[in-house]
Homo-oligomer: A and B are copies of this chain.
Amino acid sequence: MSKVLGAITMSMDGYIAGPNDRVGAGLGDGGEPLHDWMFRDPAEVDRAYLDELFSSGGAWIVGRTMHDLAEGWGDAPGFGVPVFVVTHRERPTDVKGDTTFTFVTGGLGEALRRARAAAGEKHVIVMGGGEVLRGCLDAGIVDELALTIAPILLGSGKRLFDGIGLADLELEPAEVVESPSATHIRYRVKSEASTIAR
């Protein structure tokens, strides 16, 4: 059955980007090692984890800031499925190779409805940034949080969880994939009813 997954990498001290994240340095100062498990030093299990995540996704949701910082993932984003970008500023749909970026101005609820429709039986994956993922967690629409913990300390930057009242969220670690480069923990969210119509 189709689920909504949150999927993101954070440092051991809770940062998803270092300070001064900007176009050309989307993970901020010192933040690049967050993604060493994907790009610089992936173990076989990391590759398999990422492949499985991508192949499970029928649509992605991403925040506008993250989209812009990643420069739309260049000319060949390679998602292979529709990506819905949550934004306040309208922008025409952007087709790049096998990936269509649709800019949604109707909030998380609209993004979720459109992503669900596009994903069919596959999962909707919310990849961040922090604001969008926290919003989805807060709204109770995330079924599972696929949290990758990179074995680094950043000391400053953007935190994933920053005290916006997620203390009531009930989580249960359901599965762990371990590698020398990162620890991937799949949490089941035991949430109450969603505040956004599903």
Residues of chain A at the chain B interface (Cβ within 8 Å): 12-14, 30, 147, 149, 151-156, 159-167, 169, 171-176, 178-183, 185, 187
Contacts and interface: CB of A to CB of B under 8 A. Distances in A.
Contacts of A149: 149, 185
Interface SS, A side: loop
Contact of A161 (B155, B180, B183): B155
Contacts of A156: 163
Given A12-B161, A14-B13, A147-B12, A153 B173 contact: no
B185 A167 contact: no
A179 B187 CA distance: 11
Contact of A183 (B12, B167, B183): B183
Given A30-B167, A155-B166, 19 more contacts: A12-B147, A12-B161, A12-B171, A13-B163, A149-B149, A151-B171, A151-B187, A152-B167, A153-B161, A153-B167, A153-B171, A155-B161, A156-B163, A172-B180, A173-B180, A173-B183, A174-B180, A176-B176, A183-B185
